[in-house]
């Protein structure tokens, strides 16, 4: 195909909008639809003050004009996203998902469906390169320190607590130490003025080591999402949750 058609769910949200605008201006990608339940019927071009963009916002994925194939990009919330992803899988769409809060059962079901229908799913808690690098250095530190706590800070409207990024960090450290993730404390902060911030604090006799990553603008997620859209079709039959796979650095 000459360009990859992309449907963005959560297109009126802060992250969804930042990602969608980058998609619109990326060569080789084509924004073909946006989904936002509370803004259905609104003209996206008018909302973005872009007279060249002739798209109306759809209420749900079933309202999107029929497409043989698209990549679904989802930045919403877990309950509605899970239903949407099942629809996309059955219709042979690939998926790039930054929505968090899925249960272990949800992930298991999605893994089975992706394998059955041979589509690709990038289900990544945090698409920023900085967050991925934080994972790498924290795992390296875990070989030398055997205790840590996580502090995650987000905007007041974020629903899941702890964040998906923090839960993933819990899992990585737990795997390294062969412990339960629940043994690694997470402190969650929800306040106005924050966007997305995470600190991992390691302690040992006589010393403390801290690593921190801050997102001050949601455009930080866009490059990772763009690369995922471009590569997700090659993941056929797989659910990938490590941005390093997308960056070819796994």
Q: What are the phi and psi torsion angles at 206 (to 5°)?
A: 80, 5
14 tagged catalytic: no
- Number of CB atoms found within 10 A of residue 39's CB: 17
Q: Which of 21, 91, 154, 233 is catalytic?
A: 154
Q: Which position has the token pair 């289900």? A: 123
- How is the beta sheet containing 186-190 ordered, strand by strand? 186-190, 148-154, 196-204, 207-215
Parallel/antiparallel/unpaired status of strands 57-58 and 71-74: unpaired
Q: Which position has the token pair 């995650």? A: 152
Q: What are the phi and psi torsion angles at 54 (to 5°)?
A: -110, 75
Q: Which of 158, 216, 231, 233 is catalytic?
A: 158
Both structure tokens of 150? 């996580």
Cα–Cα nearest to 70, from 101, 42, 91, 97: 91
Label residues 60-85 b or e (16+ Cβ within 10 Å = b).
ebeebeeeeebbbbbbbbbebbbebb
231 tagged catalytic: no
Residues serving a catalytic function are: 154, 158
């Amino acid at each position: 195909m000459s360009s990859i058609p992309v449907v963005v769910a959560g297109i009126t949200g802060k992250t969804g909008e930042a990602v969608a605008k980058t998609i619109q201006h990326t060569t080789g990608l084509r924004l073909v639809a946006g989904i936002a339940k509370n803004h259905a019927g609104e003209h996206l071009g008018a909302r973005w003050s872009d007279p060249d963009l002739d798209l109306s916002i759809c209420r749900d994925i079933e309202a999107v004009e029929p497409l043989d194939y698209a990549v679904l990009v989802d930045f919403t919330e877990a309950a509605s996203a899970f239903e949407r992803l099942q629809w996309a899988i059955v219709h042979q769409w690939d998926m790039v998902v930054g929505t968090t809060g899925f249960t272990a059962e949800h992930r298991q079901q999605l893994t089975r469906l992706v394998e059955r229908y041979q589509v690709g799913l990038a289900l990544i808690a945090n698409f920023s390169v900085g967050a991925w690098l934080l994972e790498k250095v924290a795992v390296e530190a875990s070989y030398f320190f055997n205790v840590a706590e996580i502090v995650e800070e987000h905007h007041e409207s974020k629903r899941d607590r702890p964040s998906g990024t923090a839960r993933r960090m819990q899992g990585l450290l737990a795997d390294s130490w062969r412990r339960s993730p629940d043994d690694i404390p997470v402190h969650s902060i929800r306040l106005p003025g924050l966007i997305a911030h995470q600190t991992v604090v390691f302690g040992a006799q006589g010393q403390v080591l801290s690593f921190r990553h801050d997102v001050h603008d949601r455009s930080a997620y866009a490059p990772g999402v763009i690369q995922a859209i471009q590569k997700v079709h090659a993941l056929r039959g797989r659910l990938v949750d490590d941005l390093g796979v997308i960056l070819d650095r796994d």
